[in-house]
């Protein structure tokens, strides 16, 4: 079994991306065209937004939609299921931001994150 830090580095390595670039990539991929794979999780930054501000917004979003007791506990976990949950939440956050749906919680579709393979 890999150490917790190694799991987090493998599955949660951040890849900073501008929203416009990610949306363009997402649209190309949705049409079935091949895109180069990105190793890491897309972290979408708005113009002028700092990484720490984006992280705070992500934590607020997770607390709102998932009602998690503690994002800190999730991030401290070395359990593979928790690492995958955080990874899937990051993917969903990036997709919703790119589509412009993140700031309107009534349009967010809730899903079960536990069974998807990464």
Please provide the DSSP assignment of 2-37 as one string.
--HHHHHHHH--EEEEEHHHHHHHHHHHHTT-----
pLDDT on residue 108: 41
Domain range for 87 = 4-107
Number of domains in the chain: 1
Q: Assess if residue 117 is contained within a domain.
A: no
pTM of the model: 0.66
- Is 80:88 a contact under the CB 8 Å cutoff? no
Q: Note whether residue 74 is domain-resident.
A: yes
Q: Which pLDDT belongs to residue 100?
A: 79
- Reading the chain (118 residues) residue by residue, the pLDDT tens digits are 457 778 888 888 888 888 888 888 888 988 999 988 877 888 888 778 888 888 888 888 888 777 666 777 777 777 888 888 888 888 888 888 888 766 544 444 444 444 444 3
Question: Has residue 115 been placed in a domain?
Answer: no
């Amino acid at each position: 079994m890999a150490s917790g830090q190694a799991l987090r580095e493998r599955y949660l390595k951040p890849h900073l991306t501008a929203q416009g670039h990610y949306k363009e990539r997402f649209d190309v991929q949705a049409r079935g065209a091949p895109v180069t794979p990105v190793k890491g999780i897309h972290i979408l930054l708005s113009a002028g937004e700092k990484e720490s501000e984006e992280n705070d917004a992500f934590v607020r979003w997770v607390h709102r939609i998932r009602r998690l007791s503690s994002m800190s506990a999730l991030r401290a976990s070395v359990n593979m299921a928790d690492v995958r949950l955080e990874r899937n939440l990051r993917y969903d956050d990036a997709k919703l931001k790119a589509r412009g749906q993140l700031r309107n919680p009534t349009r967010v579709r809730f899903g079960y994150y536990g069974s998807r393979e990464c």
